[in-house]
């Protein structure tokens, strides 16, 4: 069966289960993953595995795995990648909110930027932090601040939420050292400095467009902030009435957020700038790994919570609630990742590459379109960029009329065109913000579409007036 047909069937299953049958998202995604896996023939799996760089023996072994084993492997790899991060981030977020640390940070933020500039401050902060750090981690650390800010102005919940999303997602696909843009830059032989500068320019343009969309969407649709298992709105409101003396200091409140950012960033750049055997490189290779950095931060956040509470029963209650909330998020996110991997195993990337070879269109829109289709089909921005790069490699060899950095940026923008239920980040954002699926599509998926299209337009304009060929 053609991979495109399989993907359409899988998509129909998940939409029918969630929208029509009102099934739990995790169950719906696993059912869709099962149907997709059953429809995927061994020859499609072999083609996918070989295209991914596996040997013939490894590809055959993968094709002969039972459907249940393939589902379990995909579920395990997704939960292994994000499970600990989500659990620790949930503890950090709950500890910051319950201790009053988030409230203290918000007061400092409002004093520094003013209430009118809070949205742009969140946008710029998220964009800056997401350059060296994965978007998921940035979102985990900033969502408590969004909730605490919303207590003061409930009408701006969607604006603040979209500001941190807009800033974080674009840096992930445009600016090294994140894997997608780093891979594309290396494949095209682009100097990292040129890729970073180009990514910054296009990134600033796209997040500005995203912020204007956020302003419009905030007026167009009402998005209420809802109670989540880790904390209620009433509990958050209590902190806004406390005096500064009742809250922890600004330095201690910022530490659980800034420390993991510093450790992860330090690990990234020492790995590039220093010798692997240098003592600082070795230390940060351990402490700056994302799971370890958030573990250290979680310990500090729990200490801060205990310092404020001095009540073992309340302390245990809040940590348990945070982990319970994280458990459901991990389950749904892993199910979404499983569905995405089953879609990848249909060989949709290979199929799209074959189709693209038969159509002669403008190079930049074509690269954008390939990346966009692969992203929407299987959920991974990095996979979309790698696939698009593989398809476009022949075009690059024939020569370009502009600097190859523009091709890399077009591919990066395309990888952001539409995120939905097969994307694990979709479920992280949906569950941690308390949104329903239709709300997430309006405030996350459509936001990405606007930024991606604006990014493509900007890349095409710059490639015309400043080709640098």
Domain segments of the chain as ranges: 82-330
Nearest to residue 206, comparing CAs of 158, 159, 174, 160?
Answer: 174
Instruction: Please say if the pLDDT value at position 459 is more than 90.
Output: yes
pLDDT band, residue 360 (cuts 50/70/90): very low
Output the pTM of the full model.
0.79
Lookup result for tokens 């060296």: 132
Note whether 102 and 231 are within 8 A (CB): no
pLDDT at 448 over 70: yes
Q: Is the pLDDT of residue 349 over 80?
A: no
CA distances from 172 to 180, 220, 290, 364, 380 (A): 8, 28, 15, 20, 12
Confidence of residue 355 (pLDDT cuts 50, 70, 90): low
Higher-confidence position of 113 and 399: 113
Q: Please determine, for residue 393, whether its predicted confidence score (pLDDT) is greater than 70.
A: no
Q: What is the band of 358 on the pLDDT scale with cuts at 50, 70, 90?
A: low
The percent of residues above 70 in pLDDT, for the chain, comes to 95
- Is 19's pLDDT higher than 60? yes
Please give the Cα distance from 145 to 140 (Å, whole number).
Answer: 10
Q: Is the pLDDT of residue 356 over 70?
A: no
Contact 59, 265 (CB under 8 A): no
Contact 221, 158 (CB under 8 A): yes
Give pLDDT, residue 217: 97
């Amino acid at each position: 069966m053609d991979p495109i047909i399989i993907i359409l069937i899988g998509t129909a299953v998940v939409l029918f289960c969630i929208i029509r049958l009102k099934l739990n998202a995790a169950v719906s995604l696993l059912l869709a993953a099962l149907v997709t896996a059953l429809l995927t023939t061994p020859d499609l799996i072999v083609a996918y595995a070989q295209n991914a760089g596996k040997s013939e023996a490894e590809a055959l072994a993968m094709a002969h795995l039972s459907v249940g084993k393939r589902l379990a492997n995909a579920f395990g790899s997704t939960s292994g990648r994000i499970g600990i991060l989500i659990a620790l981030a949930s503890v950090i977020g709950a500890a910051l909110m319950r201790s009053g640390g988030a409230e203290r940070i918000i007061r400092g933020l409002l004093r520094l930027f003013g209430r009118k500039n809070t949205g742009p401050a969140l946008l710029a902060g998220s964009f800056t932090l997401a350059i060296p750090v994965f978007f998921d981690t940035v979102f985990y650390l900033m969502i408590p601040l969004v909730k605490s800010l919303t207590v003061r102005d409930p009408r701006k919940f969607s604006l603040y939420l979209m500001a941190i999303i807009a800033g974080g997602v674009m840096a992930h696909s445009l600016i090294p050292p994140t894997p997608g843009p780093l891979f594309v830059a290396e494949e095209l032989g682009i100097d990292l400095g040129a890729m970073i500068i180009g990514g910054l320019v296009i990134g600033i343009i796209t997040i500005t467009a995203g912020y204007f969309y956020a302003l419009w969407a905030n007026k167009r649709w009402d998005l209420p902030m809802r109670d989540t298992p880790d904390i209620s709105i009433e509990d958050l409101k209590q902190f806004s009435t406390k005096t500064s003396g009742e809250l922890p200091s600004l330095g201690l409140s910022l530490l659980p957020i800034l420390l993991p950012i510093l450790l992860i960033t330090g690990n990234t750049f020492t790995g590039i700038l220093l010798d692997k055997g240098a003592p600082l490189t070795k230390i940060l290779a351990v402490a700056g790994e994302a799971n370890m950095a958030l573990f250290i931060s979680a310990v500090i956040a729990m200490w801060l919570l205990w310092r404020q509470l001095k009540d073992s029963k309340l302390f245990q209650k809040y940590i348990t609630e945070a982990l319970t909330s994280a458990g459901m998020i991990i389950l749904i996110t892993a199910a979404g990742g499983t569905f995405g991997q089953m879609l990848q195993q249909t060989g949709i990337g290979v199929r799209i590459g074959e189709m693209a070879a038969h159509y002669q269109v403008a190079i930049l829109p074509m690269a954008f379109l390939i990346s966009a289709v692969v992203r929407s089909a299987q959920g991974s921005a990095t996979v979309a960029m790698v696939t698009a790069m593989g398809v476009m490699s022949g075009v690059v060899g024939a020569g370009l009329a502009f600097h190859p950095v523009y091709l890399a940026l077009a591919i990066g923008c395309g990888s952001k065109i539409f995120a939905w239920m097969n994307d694990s980040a979709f479920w992280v954002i949906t569950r941690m913000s308390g949104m329903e699926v239709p709300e997430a599509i309006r405030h996350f998926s459509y936001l990405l579409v606007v930024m991606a299209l604006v990014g493509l337009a900007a890349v095409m304009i710059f490639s015309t007036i400043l080709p640098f060929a």
